[in-house]
Amino acid sequence: MQCRMCGYEFDVDKIGKNCQGCGKKECQTVHCPNCGYGNSPEYESEFKFINSLKNKLNLNKNKD
């Protein structure tokens, strides 16, 4: 997984998937070992779409 805050790439299986801070049993937040930001895996596909859209818009902007 790549942290959406700092860009650090890490292996989720090595650090564990569950958030330890909030106390929810079903929390799936994965905290970055580099900066501590809480990444939500359920939003991963949405962030990929947003990033691809942003890249397309930047490419069109650079053509002008």
- Summary mean pLDDT of the chain: 80
Q: Is residue 59 part of a domain?
A: yes
Provide the terminal-to-terminal Cα distance of the chain, rounded to the nearest Å: 34
If one counts every other C-beta atom within 10 angstroms of the C-beta of residue 50, the result is 11
CA 40 to chain centre: 6
Residues 6+ apart with CB under 8 A from 60: none
Which tokens go with 17?
């998937």
Mean pLDDT, range 22-45, rounded to an integer: 81
Which tokens go with 29?
């937040």
Q: Is residue 3 part of a domain?
A: no
Q: Is residue 1 part of a domain?
A: no
What is the domain count for the chain? Answer: 1
pLDDT at 35: 93
Q: Is residue 2 part of a domain?
A: no
Q: Is residue 40 part of a domain?
A: yes
Which of the pair, 26 or 21, is modelled with greater confidence?
Answer: 26
Q: Is residue 32 part of a domain?
A: yes
Q: Is residue 57 part of a domain?
A: yes
Quote the domain boundaries for residue 53. 12-63
pLDDT at 64 over 60: no
pTM reported for the whole predicted model: 0.59
Confidence category of residue 27, pLDDT binned at 50, 70, 90: confident
**Beta strand 38-39 pairing with 30-31:** antiparallel
